[in-house]
Amino acid sequence: AQKITQTQPGMFVQEKEAVTLDCTYDTSDPSYGLFWYKQPSSGEMIFLIYQGSYDQQNATEGRYSLNFQKARKSANLVISASQLGDSAMYFCATGYSTLTFGKGTMLLVSP
Amino acid sequence: DTGVSQDPRHKITKRGQNVTFRCDPISEHNRLYWYRQTLGQGPEFLTYFQNEAQLEKSRLLSDRFSAERPKGSFSTLEIQRTEQGDSAMYLCASSSAGVTKETQYFGPGTRLLVL
């Protein structure tokens, strides 16, 4: 069984600042992946970043990085230099053939 | 590279009617997934296919729900005798099995409203 916990219902950040979105996970799988998706108001889930449980380094994709702390079972998303277009829901997920998602965090970026 | 597409994007129906949704995955992907998302929640897994074979179904998938992927390409999700509780966003995703960092890519979703 897998579980994702996102404790921040909403986050507020000013443009050009960095923001961290929290995610903790619980899984019985010895090897697993961790994913972050962005969901704008249009509804489409947009893949952002992937971290494998055995990856030696934290994943980075442009302005997105994943702060992976395996012992703490956390996989926080860091967005650097926030932009207005980053305003959206953000979901953390884990799994392989099927994904288990958290409830999401709403990020609002202000000018 | 064409992404995942879903049709229709929106559907309004009356309780008791049947509805069918279609998903076209990314062409080289052999896995196709269906998820349901209700307001304020993350997506929940319903079922998935590898090629034509339906490999897993969630307990959420009642006997009113049926999914097919007849030729291993597009898939359909049918809901019979719709109920108001079926109102949700239905998301389709696809991936390539066996690749490193296998990632699911989602379509735009079908929003269903049951009156």
User: For the segment B57-101, what is each residue's pLDDT rounded down to a tens digit?
Assistant: 998 888 999 999 998 899 999 999 999 999 999 999 999 987 777
Report the gap between the CA of A21 and the closest CA in chain B (Å).
15
Which pLDDT value is given to residue A96?
75
pLDDT at B99: 74
* pLDDT score for B42: 96
Find tokens 């076209």 and name the residue: B24
Task: Give the mean model confidence (pLDDT) for residues B40-45.
Answer: 95
Q: Kindly determine whether residue A33 and residue B41, on different chains, have CB atoms separated by under 8 Å.
A: no
Minimum Cα–Cα distance from B111: chain A residue: A43
Terminal alpha carbon distance of chain A:
41
Query: Is B45 part of the contact surface with chain A (CB cutoff 8 Å)?
Result: yes
Read off the pLDDT band of B1 (50, 70, 90): low
**Considering CB atoms only, which of A33, A42, A99 is closest to B108?**
A42
Helix (H, G, I), strand (E, B) or coil at B4: coil
Chain A positions in Cβ-Cβ contact with residue B101 (cut-off 8 Å): 33, 50, 52
Question: How far is the alpha carbon of B41 from chain A, nearest alpha carbon, in Å?
Answer: 5
Angstrom distance (rounded) from CA B56 to CA B46: 8
Hey, what are B75's tokens? 């898939």
- How many angstroms separate the CA atoms of A62 and A49, rounded? 10
Distance from CA of A44 to the nearest CA of B (A): 4
Residue ranges of chain A with per-residue pLDDT less than 50:
none
Residue B104 · residue A46 · CB < 8 Å: no
Percent of the residues in chain B that have a pLDDT greater than 70, as a whole number: 99
Q: Which of A99, A100, A101, A106 to mutate to test the interface with B (most CBs of B within 10 A)?
A: A99
